[in-house]
């Protein structure tokens, strides 16, 4: 079965690739939003960043910038793990429907997590974070069971 | 040889998948331990996290919480690199015994590194960190030699 | 066509593997440089790191160390994303020449970004960062179009 492998003809892989791209594009938006926020509040992390920029300051404690950076770090703690284990999960040959829901829940949870973090609304941020983690955990356990220590 | 590729019938791949899951599960434990530590000491990073939680404070300098966060960051600096290069290393067709030891050393080193970081014991933390890095470096060099710039 | 898949006989994959190794080795140099910088300025993050090391202090605000750490974090925000999406991009079957330039631009941009960050020279650092991001974004969009949501 060529269709169980890493090929865009395998619908599970094609879905994994698409949802992976979506969460990466979302993460790149956070990268851009950090820069936008730095210019908006006029706060940068390096002395060379404020040269010739009147009114800009070097500070590491602006609450708006640090909020975006905490959100970004939370992405780094979750998204590379999903990307790595998702690929291995595709190779366990899961049923298409179950696999799709793992990817959809993760992608939707991380997008809503971003909104909830920026808006500062709890417990929504926590619930989105948990939904993404549960999806990743479920795939990790299935990969562990298919593998051999 | 289908068995040299990314298939759970290839014992090297099956081992890579299993040890990758183990280090990811370990990393998710750190994620959970951060939350446990925050509740134990009553220190959170965002104002919305302490609402309705009497006695909880927003602080970014609690030594217990920051220790777990430094450990987590060290994971982020090492585990995604292992996951990415390990997969490419499987495709170089290494001997099963040699590959298994690369994966075992990395997984054991990162688990012990976590314990050593939380317990604050040197030089054990440094030695575990180094063992994991040496395993990853060895795989990276072998992938570079198999590849073509 | 076996040559369109994840095999070192596929020149696009062999190039992806080689450039991935290069950026990982670069990132491991940053890891080592952090340690070198800590010993040079005598500033560490944990109490157990300064025991028996006369003159060494626990501080989290040394500008030299924090510059290397910010650079390292920027790597973490960009390199795992490249590693993950680059593999999927290989599987979209891109033309060899176009793919090679994506990998070369990313690898060169991240190496020069490191130099520019350590030297503190703008706008070079920003331009290198942007070049790496554009290469990754281009691959991400192509993977999204090849995939199926």
What the block records as the tokens of C90 is 């290989």
DSSP character at residue B147: S
Q: Which residue has the higher pLDDT, A52 or C120?
A: C120
Mean pLDDT, chain C, whole residue set? 95
pLDDT at C52: 81
A143 to B20: CB separation less than 8 angstroms, yes or no = yes
* Nearest in space to B120 (alpha carbons), one of C42, C69, C45: C45
> pLDDT at position A1, please?
43
Identify the three-state secondary structure at position B58: strand
| CB B26 within 8 Å of CB B114 | yes
Q: How far apart are the first and last CA of chain B?
A: 26
Number of CB atoms found within 10 A of residue A55's CB: 6
Mean pLDDT of A13-29: 98
In chain C, what residues touch A47 (CB-CB under 8 Å)? 120
User: Which value, in Å, is the radius of gyration of the alpha carbons in chain B?
Assistant: 19
Give the CA distances from residue C97 to residues C12, C93, C94, C103, C105, in Å, rounded to whole numbers and listed in that order: 9, 12, 8, 10, 12
Instruction: Please list every residue in chain B whose beta carbon sits closer than 8 Å to the beta carbon of residue A62.
Output: none
**Of all helices (H) and strands (E), which one includes residue B57?**
strand B57-58
Exposed (0-12), middle (13-18) or buried (19+): which is B119, by Cβ within 10 Å?
Answer: exposed
Answer yes or no: are the C-beta atoms of B60 and B47 closer than 8 Å: no
> Which residues are CB-contacts of B130 (< 8 A; sequence separation ≥ 6)?
none
Query: What is the spatial distance between Cα B38 and Cα B72, in angstroms, rounded to a whole number?
Result: 14
Least confident of A79-93, A100-114, C42-56: C42-56
Three-state DSSP at C60 gives coil
| Amino acid A3: pLDDT | 56
Contact criterion met (CB < 8 Å) for C144 and A21: yes
Asked if residue B148 has a cis previous peptide bond (ω within 30° of 0), the answer is: no
Mind listing the pLDDT tens digit for each residue in C31-73? 999 999 999 999 999 999 998 888 899 999 999 999 999 999 9
In this prediction, residue B3 carries a pLDDT of 55
Element spanning C44, H or E: strand C43-44
d(CA B16, CA A85): 11
Extract long-range pairs of B94-102: CB within 8 Å, 24+ residues apart.
B94/B12, B94/B142, B96/B11, B96/B12, B96/B15, B99/B12, B99/B15, B99/B16, B100/B12, B100/B15, B102/B135, B102/B138, B102/B139
Integer-rounded Cα radius of gyration of chain C: 19
Q: B-chain residues within 8 Å CB-CB of C28?
A: 81, 133, 136-137, 140
Which among B25, B51, B87 has CB closest to A140? Answer: B25
Report percent pLDDT > 70 for chain A: 97
Helices (H), C42-95: 47-50, 63-91
User: Mutate which of B19, B20, B26 to test chain A, going by most A C-beta atoms within 10 A?
Assistant: B20
Query: Residue A21 and residue C120: Cβ atoms within 8 Å?
Result: no
What pLDDT is recorded for position C3? 56
Best interface-test mutation with A: which of B2, B4, B17, B108 has the largest number of A CBs within 10 A? B17
User: Which pLDDT tens digits describe chain B residue by residue (149 residues)?
Assistant: 445 789 999 999 999 999 999 999 999 999 999 999 999 999 999 999 998 888 899 999 999 999 999 999 999 999 999 999 999 999 999 999 999 999 999 999 999 999 999 999 999 999 999 999 999 999 999 999 999 98
Indicate which of C17, C29, C52, C60 best probes the interface with B, i.e. most B CBs within 10 Å of its own CB.
Answer: C17
The single residue listed with the structure tokens 């609402």 is B51
Q: What is the pLDDT of residue C53?
A: 82
- pLDDT over 80 at C4, yes or no: no
Q: Which residues of B touch C24 (CB under 8 A)?
A: 81, 84-85, 136, 140
CA neighbor of B16 nearest in space, from B109, B83, B97: B83
DSSP string, chain A: -GGGSSSTTSHHHHHHHHHHHHHHHHHHHHHHHHHHHHHHHTEESSHHHHTT-TT-EE-S--HHHHHHHHHHHHHHHHHHHHHHHHHHHHHT---HHHHHHHHHHHHHHHHHHHHHHHHT-TTHHHHHHHHHHHHHHHHHHHHHHHS--
Inspect the interface and report whether the beta carbons of A120 and B48 lie closer than 8 Å: yes
Tally Cβ neighbours within 10 Å of residue A95: 8
Q: Give dist(CA B84, CA B43) in Å, integer.
A: 34
Looking at chain C, the whole-number percentage of residues with pLDDT higher than 90 is 93
The Cα C17–Cα B148 span in angstroms is 8
Question: Using CB atoms, which residue from A70, A84, A149 is nearest to B83?
Answer: A84
- A84 with B20: Cβ contact below 8 A: yes
How many CB atoms within 10 Å of residue C51?
A: 11
Which residues of chain C have a Cβ shorter than 8 Å from any chain B Cβ?
6-8, 11, 14-22, 24-25, 27-28, 31, 45-49, 51, 60, 72, 76, 80, 83-84, 87
Side-chain half-sphere exposure of C20, counting CA atoms within 13 A:
32
Q: Name which of A87-101, C53-67, C104-118 the model is least confident about.
A: C53-67
Tell me, what's the pLDDT at C2? 43
Q: Which residues of A touch B (CB under 8 A)?
A: 5-6, 66-67, 70, 76-77, 80-81, 84-85, 87-88, 91-92, 120-122, 125, 133, 136-137, 140-141, 143-144, 146-149
Q: How many CB pairs under 8 A join B and C?
A: 85
Place of tokens 């979209």: C92
pLDDT at A2: 43
For C61, other C-beta atoms within 10 Å of its C-beta total 8
């Amino acid at each position: 079965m060529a269709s169980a492998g890493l090929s865009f003809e395998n619908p599970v892989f094609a879905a994994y690739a698409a949802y992976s791209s979506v969460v990466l594009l979302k993460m790149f938006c956070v990268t851009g939003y950090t820069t936008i926020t730095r210019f908006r509040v006029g706060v940068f992390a390096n002395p060379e960043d404020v040269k010739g920029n009147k009114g800009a300051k070097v500070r590491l404690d602006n609450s708006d910038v640090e909020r975006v950076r905490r959100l970004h770090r939370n992405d780094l703690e979750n998204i590379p793990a999903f990307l790595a284990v998702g690929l291995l999960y595709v190779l366990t040959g899961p049923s298409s429907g179950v696999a799709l829901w793992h990817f959809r829940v993760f992608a939707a949870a991380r997008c809503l997590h971003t909104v909830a973090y920026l808006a500062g609304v709890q417990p929504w941020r926590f619930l989105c974070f948990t939904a993404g983690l549960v999806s990743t955990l479920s795939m990790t356990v299935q990969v562990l069971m298919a593998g051999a220590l």
